[in-house]
Homo-oligomer: A and B are copies of this chain.
């Protein structure tokens, strides 16, 4: 599968690929997932539908790849020497404006996931799982440094804790969290749940 994907993707230059993803994200913002068609992507990007299907396999895969492309932070570049530093760095990679843009996209996708099992599957495989793998490296380093215990029960709920921090504000106030909210949430909830206290504590 990886080989096939590489072979497929090698037919486009990285610039052309980026251009396609940007067009998909624009369309997503304009019409949402359900109303987005491969015809519209083809028209917007002056490519053939056959090319799109050959390259990505389908709408769900194309949209998720575009979302992945649009994510500004790269967890694999974060290594500050402490868990608190790493988690804060994560919260600070996106400025408030970018958080807002991405939250709008993500809300649309979260709604579409319910009625599109193929989107949920692609979202999990292409976005959540790679992100969680990077996330686990951050926690493994914290375990290796002795900051948190390997058998800490909260470790298996990291995704739930983080989604709670992001999604609740978005849902209740119809606006995404700010950087400073995320930093407070990490200090007040995530680190204590992991048994690691902040210096102010």
Please determine whether A185 and B168 come into contact, CB atoms closer than 8 angstroms: no
Q: Is A5 an interface residue (CB 8 A)?
A: no
As a 0/1 sequence over residues 165 to 201 of chain A, the CB contacts with chain B under 8 angstroms (1 = contact) are 1011101101000000000110111101111000001
Interchain CB contact (< 8 A) of A193 among B117, B162, B169, B192: B192
Q: Is A133 an interface residue (CB 8 A)?
A: no
How distant is A122 from chain B, measured CB to nearest CB, in Å? 13
Interchain CB contact (< 8 A) of A164 among B128, B164, B172: B164
Contacts of A189 in B (CB 8 A): 154, 157, 160-161, 189, 193
Q: Give the number of times this chain occurs in the complex, counting copies.
A: 2
Interchain CB contact (< 8 A) of A160 among B114, B120, B169: B169
Cα of A192 to Cα of B151 in the assembled complex, Å: 14
Contacts of A190 in B (CB 8 A): 193
Q: Is A46 an interface residue (CB 8 A)?
A: no
Q: Is A31 an interface residue (CB 8 A)?
A: no
Beyond A157-B185, A188-B157, whether A128 also contacts B167 by CB under 8 A is no
As a 0/1 sequence over residues 31 to 68 of chain A, the CB contacts with chain B under 8 angstroms (1 = contact) are 00000000000000000000000000000000000000
Nearest first, the 9 closest Cβ-Cβ pairs linking A and B are: A164-B164, A153-B188, A193-B193, A160-B168, A163-B168, A160-B164, A189-B193, A192-B193, A154-B188
